[in-house]
Amino acid sequence: MNKIIIIDCLQYSKWTRKIFQQMNDGGVHAVHVTISYHETFREMVHNLEQWNRWFEEYSELIFLGKTSNDILRARKENKTAIFFGFQNPSPIEEDLGLIEICYSLGIRFMQLSYNNQSLFASGCYEKNDRGITRFGQQLISEMNRLGIVIDMSHSGEQSTLEAIEISTKPIAITHANPSWWHSALRNKSDTVLKKLANSKGMLGFSLYPHHLHKGSDCSINSFCRMIVEAASRYGIDCLGIGSDLCQDQDDSIVEWMRNGRWTKVIDFGEGSVDGPGFPDQPKWFCDNRDFENIKKGLISAGFTEVDVAAVMGGNWLRFFEESFGQ
């Protein structure tokens, strides 16, 4: 079991050597990291500059991943391939040409909206979901041409269904759970997940407490039984992990994620006035060394070793190859 590929398709931590070392200790071969939430193009570029410094400074632990072969290289060299993504399309501003520029800079995932209405799609917190916009259709076409994955994790139901329909390539919901397990605006309906699976898309299971049954107190048994149930409903091929791990972040960061510069009235998102900050992680998943717990939990819940390998990274590896090439 030690040699299986492990891919986490969403993390946004306060990056330090400690965390990159934990990825290494946990045998994590690839992580999709968030580059921006509400940044303009120029501000996003500044975030990439910071990553360039980390790639130089921690070159024995991490490198920029662009294709599926980079994940195999990571396994061979005992490193972690970092794949870039935007949670929100704000860096595209109102300029379609910026999507190819972002691709050249290494971006491989982009959400079409983040909770709110964007220029391209509606968000899961909007009352009315107007679906994919005219500009959104042009953007999807370019993302398909270039090989940037359309991620609908924070988008509304109608927009998500339309994105699956319009996109000529499979899309992803990199970090969310089924709403039949835990009802939340951010979790996804059975309708969406069936359509996602039928179109060869991917779902990454989230470990962010607000997406978990019983939140921070969610048991690993409940989480893993949910995955086994999802495999029986949708087939195992469309399932992976997208932990949404936000390790060591200050609470000001979750406030930025939720409020950006779009509101003067504080929006608590999935939190509340009494619990405005980051929730505590469940004890069995606190950092990159804890994928081991999930592997064991899945076996206990009834998965074979082959099933575990598929969900822990094998399915994402196939999807990365189909999306980005070798």
Contacting a second copy (CB under 8 A), which of 63, 72, 106, 185? 106
- Closest C-alpha to 313, from 77, 26, 25: 26
Is position 98 an interface residue for a second copy (rule: CB under 8 A)?
yes
- In the DSSP assignment, the letter for residue 237 is G
CB of 41 to a second copy, least distance (A): 7
Distance CA(156)–CA(154), nearest Å, equals 7
Contacting a second copy (CB under 8 A), which of 26, 100, 144, 289? 100
β-sheet bridge partners, residue 84: 33, 107
Amino acid at 218: C
Give the angle subtended at the CA of 82 by the CAs of 79 and 88, to the nearest 5°: 165
Is position 101 an interface residue for a second copy (rule: CB under 8 A)?
yes
Q: Are 91 and 34 in contact (CB under 8 A)?
A: no
| Contact partners, residue 212, CB within 8 Å, separation at least 6 | 177, 182, 206, 218, 223, 282
**Which range, of 97-105, 192-200, 211-219, 234-242, touches a second copy by CB under 8 A?**
97-105
Contacting a second copy (CB under 8 A), which of 43, 57, 77, 95? 95
Contacting a second copy (CB under 8 A), which of 97, 168, 264, 273? 97
Contacting a second copy (CB under 8 A), which of 49, 94, 127, 265? 49
CB of 149 to a second copy, least distance (A): 19
Is position 57 an interface residue for a second copy (rule: CB under 8 A)?
no
> HSE on the CB side for 176, CA within 13 Å?
31
Q: Please write down the HEC assignment for all residues of 157-198.
A: HHHHHHHHHHCCCCCEECCCCECCCCCCCCCECHHHHHHHHH
Identity of the residue, 100 or 255, whose beta carbon is nearer to a second copy in the bound complex: 100
- In the DSSP assignment, the letter for residue 86 is E
Identity of the residue, 145 or 194, whose beta carbon is nearer to a second copy in the bound complex: 145
Identity of the residue, 2 or 168, whose beta carbon is nearer to a second copy in the bound complex: 168
CB of 102 to a second copy, least distance (A): 10
Distance CA(242)–CA(194), nearest Å, equals 18
What is the gyration radius of the CA atoms in the chain, in angstroms?
18
CB of 112 to a second copy, least distance (A): 20
Is position 119 an interface residue for a second copy (rule: CB under 8 A)?
no
Identity of the residue, 43 or 165, whose beta carbon is nearer to a second copy in the bound complex: 43
Identity of the residue, 84 or 285, whose beta carbon is nearer to a second copy in the bound complex: 84
β-sheet bridge partners, residue 111: 151
Is position 144 an interface residue for a second copy (rule: CB under 8 A)?
no
CB of 46 to a second copy, least distance (A): 7
Chain residues 4-43 in contact with a second copy, contact rule CB under 8 A? 41-42
Residues that bind a second copy (CB under 8 A): 41-42, 45-46, 48-50, 52-53, 95, 97-98, 100-101, 104-106
